Structure 1
Amino acid sequence: MPEDVAAREVLEDARALAASGEWAKLVALVTSLHPADLAELVLDLSEETRRDLLGRLPSDVVGQLFEYVEDDELRDLIRGVGVEDLPAVLEEVEDDVAADVIQQLEPAEQVETLAALDRGEEVAELMAYGDESAGGLMSRGFVALNDDITVLQAIDYLRVLRPSAERAYYLYVLDRAGRLQGVVSIRDLLVSAPETRLGEITQRDVHAVATGTDQEEAARVLQKYNLMALPVVDEDGRLEGIMTADDLIDVLQEEATEDMYRMAGVGEDERVFSPVRTSVRRRLPWMMGNVLTAFLAAVVVGLFDSALSKAAVLAYFMPVVAGMGGNAGTQTATIAVRSIALGDLDVSDVFRACRKEILVAMANGLAIGVVAALGAYIWQRNETLSLVLGCALFLNICAATLAGVLIPLGLKAVKVDPALAANIFVTAITDVMGFVFFLGIASLVISRIQ
């Protein structure tokens, strides 16, 4: 039986036991679930039932749940545990997870929870970093060794420490001041002579980021060099923590979702069943902006009312010109925004990017223009109208494609998130320029279109 089917059946049994109040059977059943599945079950329960179940589960099991819920679900889980019982649960999780949980509390509750934790000072240090910085995302779960100890001493230390597999991705080598010197692999420890100093076998070509580095940039470094973990150092080069591959996945998912929502003009934490007032407040400003750009396009159309009155057939093809230009602009803007987010495109690349995109636009514009012109001729049997439509499409696709590159780069140059407003400006340009090209050219040869 597939694992996902088996998991669903267990979840259904668990919900039935929760509904009937058979707590002993329920606890025995759910402790066999993966924490991700258990978190799904717990959040699906009513608040009262959730509290009853969490109060009967071991602290280490409850602690694992915090690693498998989204930020907007943390508060539900915290209420289920209870602020008074939260310190005991947080003793079972990594410092970075504890910091994320405590940041969801009220200020007074944060102070009380940190004071009740055995390692409250370490967690408080993580909370001092920005939420979207490498320092705010890093974990303290790493293994560090001094560069002046021997291989034999290092192996003896690891036997005593017994680090988990997740913490032993890399063994970090530090000097006496705690500054990162490099990494050493377990293989090197095994094959080196026992009396060899770690400094002699340390790989010093190590990639690290500062605690203040933006999380997206840090994740990009970890991805670029295909690392399992990325060390995070302070301004003096002292090792403060590590970012792991699961951090990378979370950051990239978060940033991609944020860009997608912003390009659509909605809040990144909005959901299908968000309150009506919240959805209206977040969407209406962008729609107002679109109203203004739509009126601008209408004004442009009004400038050519004489041509439209003489050849109403032009109105048939106006949506074609605007729509194809909008599609071309949106395609390019989406690629540009994503490339900027990944660090592949910068303001200094503007000429190279424009040169490449204009070649793409000319090829696409020519193909679309020919096809549309042929279709218009078959429909209306007017050669001049067909040529006007083809030329307008070619020009508008070229203009839209350039706008799709220049607008995101321009927004980045003035320190505005390109994902935030690129589509509004691109749409305005493609509509306005499309009508200018189509109606402008048509007005010059209107006698041959009537």
Structure 2
Amino acid sequence: MSPDDTSPAQDGRETAQTHLVASVPTARPETRAADLIAALGGQHFDCADTILVTDADTRLIGIVRINDLFANAGRLIGEIMEPEHEAVTVEADQEEIATLAIRLNMIVVPVVDETGRLIGAVPPEALFRILRDEHMEDLQRLAGIGAHQGGPAAALDAPIRDRLSRRLPWLVLGLAASTVVTLVMVGFEEALAANVAVAFFVPALVYIAGAIGTQAVSVSVRALSTSDVALRPLMRDEALIGLGIGAALGTIAGLGVLASFGDGLLALAVGLAVLGGGAVSSVVGFALPWAFQRIGSDPAMGSGPICTVIQDAASLAIYFLAVRVLIL
């Protein structure tokens, strides 16, 4: 078993082909565990953490974890193996490999060809690198930084122009979209003119909305990358979480405004704005990555900058509407 090519995919994606090793211990189901243990002695493998069980045609039919092998020396391999074990093909993206490893609690991921014949495995050290790289890419994409072809590590050493070009596009879009926030402020100019204290709480409201939304985006991106789950119940839960966070922070903020300014109506307006902004930010932050995925885009790419604009505009609109109703 030897891979034909261990170079990265031509389109820049890291695949199983990039990470697999071919020298791995294999066994047939009719072999006794004690005999296999004896046969493995003195041999060197690129990865020996898991025994890959194959049939007569070298098709993968199961795995035996090394601790199970030594704990059941008197039994047949077929009796202690995990049957019909999942594997990836050589063209599988490294994110798919990491997701499978997490879902099945695997330290070694088998790699097979199109017919199910064993080619090799992705070893633990490669899994660690994959998980770290995917994590770093998600962090960059959440911030609206385009992925570097050489990976997150290479991105740090890229030329200044390259790093600038990967960070600027989403920020330009965010700057253009931020005119919505400006229009919201202009639309409530009379509220600001009537009570200058109203303006004092705008930065805090924008920060709270952004912080809640960032949490929701992070949760959503992780959910999309690790499992196939229904959107509706998660969206309902996130709305409830946003209301809970908004209610707690709104109560604290309202009491603080009341204690500092002695203005009950202004305190109520701030509290309601935090409550409404928390709910909107949670739902928008959670839903936006799903929308990106639905249109075929990376769920993490640009979610942070776009989400920030929507959350800021919504929280300020709620705040000024509350001010107009309660104070003016």
**Which TM-score bucket, shorter chain as reference?**
0.7 to 0.9
Choose the corresponding residue for 1:270, options 141, 155, 158.
155
> Take 2:319 and 2:244, find their aligned partners in 1: how far apart are those partners?
19
Structure 2 unaligned residues grouped into runs of 5+:
147-151
- Give the number of equivalent residue pairs: 316
2:81 corresponds to which residue?
Answer: 203
Shift of 1:401: 0.7
The CA deviation at 1:329 is: 0.8
Contact 2:143-2:302 at 8 Å conserved across structures: no
TM-score when scaled to structure 2?
0.85
Tell me, yes or no, if the aligned pair for 1:210 and 1:235 is still in contact at 8 Å.
no
Structure 1 match to 2:149: none
User: Structure 1 residues 199 and 326, CA, compared in 2 at 3 Å: closer, same or farther?
Assistant: closer
Give the alignment of 1:286-325 within 5 angstroms: 286-325=170-209
1:104-119 equivalence runs, <5 A: none
1:359, 1:155 → 2: CA distance?
54
Residues 223-372 of structure 1 aligned to structure 2 (within 5 Å): 223-267=102-146, 268=152, 269-271=154-156, 274-343=158-227, 346=229, 348=230, 350-372=231-253
Q: Structure 1: which amino acid aligns with 2:287?
A: L
Summarize deviations over 1:391-427 as a string: whole Å, max 9, x none: 1111111110111111111112222111112112211
Aligned counterpart, 1:214: 93
Aligned CA distance change for structure 1 residues 179 and 401 (closer, same or farther; 3 Å): same
Aligned residues of 1:134 and 1:209 also touching (Cα < 8 A) = no
Query: 1:389–1:187: structure 2 CA closer, same or farther, 3 Å change rule?
Result: closer
Deviation at 1:200, TM superposition (A): 5.4
- 2:54 aligned residue (174, 177, 194): 174
Contact 2:235–2:283, Cα closer than 8 Å, also in 1: yes
- The separation in 2 between residues aligned to 1:371 and 1:276, in whole angstroms, is 44
Aligned counterparts of 1:402 and 1:442: Cα–Cα separation in 2:
23
Shift of residue 201 of structure 1? 4.5
Distance 2:39 2:178 in 1: 69
Q: Which amino acid aligns with 1:172?
A: L
CA contact (8 A) 1:208 1:233 kept: no
Distance 1:357 1:245, change over 3 A: same
Shift of 1:320: 1.8
Aligned counterparts of 1:150 and 1:303: Cα–Cα separation in 2: 79
State the partner residue of 1:434: 315
- CA separation in 2, counterparts of 1:189 and 1:317? 67
Cα distance change on mapping 1:364 and 1:174 into 2, 3 Å: closer
Q: Which has the larger radius of gyration?
A: 1
Amino acid at match of 2:52: Y
- Looking at structure 1, the residues matched to 45 and 74 of structure 2 have their Cα atoms a distance apart, in angstroms, of 20
| CA distance in structure 2 between the aligned counterparts of 1:367 and 1:189, rounded to whole angstroms | 55
Higher helix content, 1 or 2? 1
Query: In structure 2, how many angstroms separate the alpha carbons of the residues matched to 1:152 and 1:358?
Result: 56
Q: Which has the higher contact order (CA 8 A, sep 6+)?
A: 2
* Contact preservation (8 Å) 1:329, 1:427: yes
**What is the letter of the counterpart of residue 62 of structure 2?**
G
SS in 1 for 2:145: coil
Q: How do residues 400-439 of structure 1 correspond to structure 2 at under 5 angstroms?
A: 400-439=281-320
Distance in 2 (CA, whole Å) between partners of 1:148 and 1:129 is 38
Which residue identity lines up with residue 164 of structure 1 in the other structure?
H
Q: RMSD between aligned alpha carbons?
A: 2.8
Match of 2:267 in 1: 386
How far apart, CA to CA, are the structure 1 residues paired with 2:261 and 2:35?
Answer: 87
Say if 1:124 and 1:362 are closer, same or farther in 2 by CA, change over 3 A: same
Residues 73-84 of structure 1: pairs in structure 2 closer than 5 A? none
**Are 1:138 and 2:20 matched, yes or no?**
yes
Partner of residue 254, structure 2:
373
Do 1:145 and 1:174's aligned partners in 2 also have CA atoms closer than 8 Å? yes
For 1:389 and 1:152, the matched residues in 2 are separated by 71
Q: Distance in 2 between matches of 1:445 and 1:173?
A: 72
**Conserved 8 A contact 1:173-1:202:** no
Shift of 1:230: 2.1
Distance 1:187 1:445, change over 3 A: closer
Partner Cα separation in structure 2 for residue 307 and residue 264 of structure 1: 33
Taking a change above 3 Å as real, the CA distance of residues 133 and 234 of structure 1, as seen in their structure-2 partners, is same
